[in-house]
Amino acid sequence: MQVRNHHDLWSGIMFMAFGLLFMVFSRQYQMGTAAKMGPGYFPTVLGGLLFVLGLAIGATAYSKGNREAKLAPFGWRENGLVLLSVLIFAGALGPLGIVISIVLLVFVAAAASHEFSVRDTTLAAIFLLILSYLVFVKGLELQFPVWPKFLTK
Partner 1 sequence: MEQLLSNLALGFGTAATPDNLLYCFVGVVLGTLIGVLPGIGPLATIAMLLPATYKMTDPTSALIMLAGIYYGAQYGGSTTAILVNLPGESSSVVTTLDGYQMARRGRAGAALSIAAIGSFFAGTVATFLLAAFAPPLAEVAFKFGPAEYFSLMVLGLIAAVVLAHGSIWKALAMVVLGLLLGMIGTDVNSGVARFSFDVPELSDGIEFAVVAMGMFGFAEIILNLEQKEHREVFTSKVGRLLPTLAEFKRAVPAMLRGTTLGSLLGILPGGGAVLASFSTYAMEKKLSKNPGEFGKGAIEGVAGPEAANNAGAQTSFIPMLTLGIPTTPVLALMVAAMMIHNIQPGPQVMTSNPKLFWGLIASMWIGNLFLVVLNLPLIGVWIKLLTVPYRVLYPAILVFCCIGAYSLNNNVFDVFMTVPFAILGYIFKKLECEPAPLLLGFVLGKLMEEYLRRAMTISRGDPMVFVTRPLSATLLGLAAVMLVIVFLPAIAKKREEAFSGDD
Contact residues for 54 (Cβ-Cβ < 8 A; gap 6+): 11, 12, 13, 14, 15, 16, 17, 18, 19
Q: Please report, as residue ranges, which positions from 33 to 52 form the binding site for partner 1 (by CB under 8 A).
A: 33-39, 42-43, 46-47, 49-50
Site membership for partner 1, residue 31 (CB under 8 A) = no
* Among positions 3, 20, 31, 53, the unique one binding partner 1 when judged by CB under 8 A: 53
Decide: is 62 part of the binding site for partner 1 (CB under 8 A). no
Q: Tell the smallest beta-carbon distance from residue 112 to partner 1 (Å).
A: 5
Q: How far is the CB of 62 from partner 1 (least distance, A)?
A: 14
Angle between helices 118-132 and 76-110 (to 10 degrees): 70
- Which alpha helices (DSSP H) does 3-140 contain, by range? 6-26, 41-60, 76-110, 118-132
Per rule CB under 8 A, is residue 151 in the interface with partner 1? no
**Is 17 among the residues that bind partner 1 (CB under 8 A)?**
no
Please, which of residues 70-129 interact with partner 1 by CB under 8 A? 71-72, 74-75, 78-79, 82-83, 85-87, 89-91, 93-94, 98, 102, 105-106, 109-110, 112-117, 120-121, 123-125, 128
Rounded Cα gap, residues 109 and 79, in angstroms: 10
CA 149 to CA 95: how far, in whole Å? 6
